[in-house]
Amino acid sequence: MLLEYAMMLLVFGLTTNVKRSQIEALEFESTTRHPPHHRRTTTAHPMAHQHLSQPILEAIALAAKLPSSSTSASSLTKLERTNAIMDSFEDIPVSGEPIFENTTDREVIAAVGTTARLHCRVRNLGDRAVSWIRKRDLHILTIGIMTYTNDQRFLARHIDNSDEWVLKVVSVQPRDAGIYECQVSTEPKISQAYKLMVVTSKAQILSNRELFIQSGSDINLTCIAPQAPGPYAHMMWYKDSELINDSTRGGIRVISEQQMKTSNLVISRVLHRDSGNYTCAADNSNSDSVFVHIIKSEQHAAMQHELATRMQTPRLLLVLLTFFYLFTEYSIK
């Protein structure tokens, strides 16, 4: 019986100790919220513990002298604040995650036989890899700068320390039209779609495939590209793969109408060195070429005579056949 009574006193003392810690916590909070000169003093009522028996009061006094083993309210408050800070960090997105830049055309038009380029820009790539996927069959075309298809017309291009990854399609074919995805190896993966449209367009120089121009005369070539995609067509002229402009030589005039998709090349007072292959190239269109021969005046006259002779030969033959036919008819009668 005495043992049970001692145990009751011990349990009651521990319980009182916990309550005492809670009272200290409230006092700490009150001190934090109110400056010392504004702290309110609470006085215990003199009759507050009169209903307790003497042994219980002694047990309470004994328990008050024991060292507190419970966590103080101030420590709990710091712990809770630390946890709150950690939780808030979890809500903040991690900086430096890959993100696409929507600064490039995602719809690209290319003519059959030309080269198409799809430009994908990714910021904060880090150690992730960029891949190009063909959407219709989910075929991996490139990873990084490596090609993973037997069709060697597909190539990846990337300049070191740049954000741009380019899918290059050489000699575009109608079957290449469709959706392509630029994919980044994050977890989960992120991707951006690009549409390649293939058209059949060809620039055309309005002349024979070979021209004979007399030395000292002018070259006058007109090129059209009526089926070039888009409302405007930028057209350029080349001589033997070299771009023709005012710096090439004097006496050159190029008049282009981008909206009408036409261009006119005039070269004044041509010399023998102006002989060569002349090419007209329009945006997203196949080019067209003619070969120009610059000849001297004597050669021009001889060629004109030869051409006239070739044209007269069929006429003479026709006259002979007509005469033979009439002679035959007359003989029969």
Instruction: Give per-residue pLDDT as tens, 60-82.
Output: 555 455 444 444 444 445 445 44
Is 122 a member of any domain? yes
Mean local confidence (pLDDT), 175-184: 97
Do both 225 and 192 map to the same domain? no
User: Same domain for 209 and 195?
Assistant: no
Regarding whether 280 and 195 lie in a shared domain, the answer is no
Do both 80 and 111 map to the same domain? no
Domain total in the chain: 3
pLDDT tens digits, one per residue of 205-231: 999 999 999 999 999 999 999 888 878
Identify the domain boundary among 199, 215, 234. Answer: 199
Q: Are residues 227 and 243 in the same domain?
A: yes
* pLDDT value for 92: 40
- C-alpha dist (Å) from residue 243 to 190, 235, 247, 249, 299: 42, 11, 10, 12, 29
| Cα–Cα separations (whole angstroms), residue 52 to 45, 48, 152 | 14, 9, 96
- Same domain flag for 216 and 292: yes
pLDDT given for residue 307 in this prediction: 58
Q: Are strands 178-184 and 262-267 parallel, antiparallel or unpaired?
A: unpaired
137 found inside a domain:
yes
- Asked which of 108-112, 169-173, 229-233 is least confident by mean pLDDT, the reply is 229-233
C-beta contacts of 240-247 below 8 A and 24+ residues apart: 240/276, 240/277, 241/279, 244/278
325 lies in a domain? no
The pLDDT tens digits of the residues spanning 274-304 come to 999 999 999 888 899 999 999 986 655 555 5
* Same-domain check for residues 137 and 210: no
List, as one string, the DSSP characters of 166-210. EEEESS--GGG-EEEEEEE--SS-EEEEEEEEEE--B-EESS-SE
Instruction: Give the pLDDT band of residue 58 (cuts 50, 70, 90).
Output: low
CATH of the domain at 240: 2.60.40.10
For residues 121 and 160, give the distance between their C-alpha atoms in angstroms, rounded to a whole number. Answer: 13
Has residue 292 been placed in a domain? yes
Domain that holds residue 120: 99-199
Distance CA 89, CA 128 (A): 24
